[in-house]
Structure 1
Amino acid sequence: MTMFKTIAAAAFALCAAAPAFAQDLTPVGTWQTTTGESRYSVSYCGDGTALCAKLIWLRKDARTPENLALLNKHVVQGARSTGANKWRGTVKYDGQTVSGSVTLVNRNKMSLRGCQLIACQNVDFVRI
């Protein structure tokens, strides 16, 4: 096989495999904050491309009245895709609703950034 045919075959194989790689990278599943105080069930919702997250568990020291009010409720509902592995919408956090974005960093790490006026906070999650 000539060098050109070898390169073309390799490029074709990578392109054919790309959808399989993309399908493996999904935010759907159970996630925990890196500090371990809360867990969330993340799923697609709406038309199947929006992102939803439900608070499903709180560590004992995180069971404040504000957090308990959100337990077993969606804290992210209908966040819209803004690009590959990125969603934007509203986030309910610590008794408040803020504008936020979710980024799937890799298969086992997700990051949430929420802002209210000029104050922003980042929260990282790991898949469990």
Structure 2
Amino acid sequence: MTLFKTIAALALAIGLAAPAAAQDLSPVGTWQTTTGESRFVVSYCGDGTQICAKLTWLRRDARKPENVAMLNKLVVNGARPAGENQWRGTVKYDGQTVDGSVTLVDEDSMQLSGCMLIACKNVDFVRR
């Protein structure tokens, strides 16, 4: 999976994913794709209810020039709450802006979804 697809999926998951548990969960922390190719640090930002995500690590086989260019940069900046344990916003990557969502499924699982044109993708993350 390309990093763009991962990021796009991260963005879409903010609103289209399966519902999370009834309690409010925190997205803050380090998350890794279940395939192990990339890691992101998620933090609260903006007014303190929005979330931001920074790409912090790439597995060796994912270190393509377009992916390396995104290292240590925000790929999600200011996604807004869209429901219980859900955020919706945009992901910026390689000059593109993709609408998406992030949903915390449980304390250690997060699903990201994103669409570009008619192509949509979901990516699952686990807490590190």
Task: Give the TM-score normalised by structure 1.
Answer: 0.78
Distance 2:91 2:123 in 1: 12
Distance 1:36 1:92 in 2: 21
- Cα deviation for residue 97 of structure 1 reads 2.6
- 1:111 equivalent in structure 2: 111
- 2:64 equivalent in structure 1: 64
- Cα deviation for residue 65 of structure 1 reads 1.1
- 2:49 equivalent in structure 1: 49
Unaligned runs of 5+ in 1: 1-20
Distance 2:67 2:117 in 1: 22
Amino acid at match of 2:115: C
Amino acid at match of 1:50: Q
Richer in helix (by share): 1
Range that drifts further, 27-36 or 116-125: 116-125
Task: Give the TM-score normalised by structure 2.
Answer: 0.78
- Cα deviation for residue 55 of structure 1 reads 0.3
Pick the structure with greater CA Rg.
1
- Cα deviation for residue 118 of structure 1 reads 1.4
1:37 counterpart = 2:32: no
- 1:28 equivalent in structure 2: 28
Q: What is the number of residues matched between the two proteins?
A: 106
SS in 2 for 1:101: strand
Deviations 1:50-104 (A, max 9, x none): 01000000000001111111100001000000111000111135x3431110000
Identity within the alignment, %? 72
Unaligned runs of 5+ in 2: 1-21
Distance 1:69 1:51 in 2: 22
